[in-house]
Amino acid sequence: MAGRVEGKVAFVTGAARGQGRSHALRLAEEGADIIAVDVCGPIPNLQYPHATPEDLEETVRQVEALDRRIVAREADVRDAAAMKAAVDEGVAELGHLDIVVGNAGICIVAPWDEVTEEIWDDTVDTNLKGVWNTVRLTAPHLIAAGGGSIILTSSAAGLKGLPFITPYVASKFGVTGLTKAFAHELAMHNIRVNSLHPTGVATDMGQMGAEYPRMLEANPRLAGMLTNSLPIEVTEPRDQSNAVLFLASDESRYVTAMAMTVDAGNTQY
């Protein structure tokens, strides 16, 4: 039986591990070839280990084990020239581009008065400018292909002002808005643009949750904001990937400008 995205090519940022790797694998399982990028290096102030070149190699290995092709590049979403080279080389090798997943992001937990200018700039540049770079550098290829689907990873924090991550909230609200604006401008080209809004996910980045107890001790009234309404603490990367797959596939051919929450009810609670 043909896969749900058979014969398509997907560009995935932040693909070395975590949600990005999971998206690459889920799309590959359903027949897509992959262009994968990841910075694979340190970013200051991270409270969890950064992705490595070995992580990206592991993504390559796992996609190839599914008999799909993959072009992987170490590139920083903040670096437009490196991103453009990765996209253009990937499309040259794999033939065309149909799906874009703007997933790369960072999250640094700190109460408002401990956020430094460096944390603000790194977070907003990676999570917002990086997504803008991703869309503007891939859209010409989607137009050339006659249409496509773009999925941008925002967050529950892109709909709800979750505490102790102010730069992250600002960047993710930005992604929510960027999604809706790009959806307007690109609709005439049959390109759909939707945002994904995860609650907590069991990944390396998810480890930053360990920073919360100290802050909640100082401000316990905010603890309820982090609660999921379904009886689970955390989702798996594959739960997010299943939503990416639906939005990438023709099953959702008339779904655009949507904020898709995979948040166990967090933003409605």
* Closer of 72 and 191 to another protein (Cβ): 191
Q: Is 47 exposed, middle or buried, given 0-12, 13-18 or 19+ CB atoms closer than 10 A?
A: middle
**157 binds another protein, rule: CB under 8 A:** no
Closest CB to another protein among 110 and 245?
245
Nearer to another protein, 1 or 218 (CB): 1
The residue assigned the tokens 């670096």 is: 79
Catalytic annotation, pick one of 168, 212, 254, 269: 168
Half-sphere exposure for 168 (CA within 13 Å, toward CB): 25
Cβ at position 1, least distance to another protein in Å: 6
Active site residue 48: no
- Interface residue with another protein, options 24, 183, 208, 248 (CB under 8 A): 183
267 lies in the binding site for another protein (CB under 8 A): yes
Distance of closest approach, residue 174 Cβ to another protein, in angstroms: 17
Q: Which of 65, 144, 210, 232 binds another protein (CB under 8 A)?
A: 232
Residue 223 CB, nearest distance to another protein (Å)? 18
Q: What is the nearest approach in angstroms of another protein to the Cβ of residue 143?
A: 13
3-state secondary structure the chain: CCCCCCCCEEEEECCCCHHHHHHHHHHHHCCCEEEEEECCCCCCCCCCCCCCHHHHHHHHHHHHHCCCCEEEEECCCCCHHHHHHHHHHHHHHHCCCCEEEECCCCCCCCCHHHCCHHHHHHHHHHHHHHHHHHHHHHHHHHHHHCCEEEEEECCHHHCCCCCCCHHHHHHHHHHHHHHHHHHHHHHCCCEEEEEEEECCECCCHHHHHHHHHHHHHHCHHHHHHHCCCCCCCCECHHHHHHHHHHHHCHHHCCCCCCEEEECCCHHHC
From 10, 192, 205, 211, residue interacting with another protein (rule: CB under 8 A):
192
Asked if 261 touches another protein (CB under 8 A), the answer is: yes
Residue with smaller CB distance to another protein, 210 or 255: 255
Q: Does 224 bind another protein (CB under 8 A)?
A: no
143 in contact with another protein (CB under 8 A): no
260 in contact with another protein (CB under 8 A): yes
Residue closer to another protein (CB basis): 123 or 267 = 267
Burial class (CB in 10 A: 0-12, 13-18, 19+), 259: middle
Count of residues binding another protein (CB under 8 A)?
37
Q: Using CB under 8 A as the criterion, which residues of the chain lie in contact with another protein when the complex forms?
A: 1, 180, 183-184, 187-188, 190, 192, 199, 228-232, 235, 239, 242-243, 245-246, 251-258, 260-265, 267-269
Q: Which residues are catalytic?
A: 168
